[in-house]
Amino acid sequence: MFNKILTVCIGNICRSPSAERILQSLMPSKQISSAGLGALVDKGIEENAAKLLTDNNYNAENHKARQVSTEIITNADLILVMEKKHQQVLMQKYPSASGKIMLLGKWNSDEDIPDPYRKSTEAFEHAYKQIEINSKAWAQKLT
C-alpha cells in the first residue's frame, strides 16, 4: 500500500511542493512530503508557485525545502518525480528504491513536467496545470 508518498524535483520550491500540497488535498489520509535533488534548503515555496496554489484553494504555507536523503527515500512507499532525468538520478543513487520511483506524469504518456523556476508566469501556469492533472490521475489510482 502506498501510504507514504514523496514528490521530488530539483530545488524543492516549485514543482515538488506544489505536487505535495495538491496530493495532500486529494488524499488527506496519506502522508505526503517533498524533497529536492539540489534543494534550496529551508526556502519556502517560490512566489509564483505559491500564488497558483493559493488561487486554486491549496495550502502554500509553512513549506521548508529539504534535500533528498537515504532516510527520506527509504521511508517513502512511492516516489513521484517530475522528469525522467530525476528518475534516473535517484535510481542510480538509490538502486534499492528503483521499483518505487515513478514519474508524476506516468498516467499521461510519461510526460515530464518542465522546471518553471526563474521563468515566465506562463511557464509556472503550464507546470501547475500539468502537476494538478497528473496529481489527480495518481489520486484516482491510489484511492
Nearest to 114 by CA among 93, 140, 134, 92: 134
Catalogue the active-site residues: 9, 15, 115
Alpha-carbon distances of 139 from 2, 19, 27, rounded to whole Å: 11, 11, 7
Residue with cell 534499492: 96
Nearest to 91, CA basis, from 73, 113, 104? 73
Cell representation of residue 71: 532516510
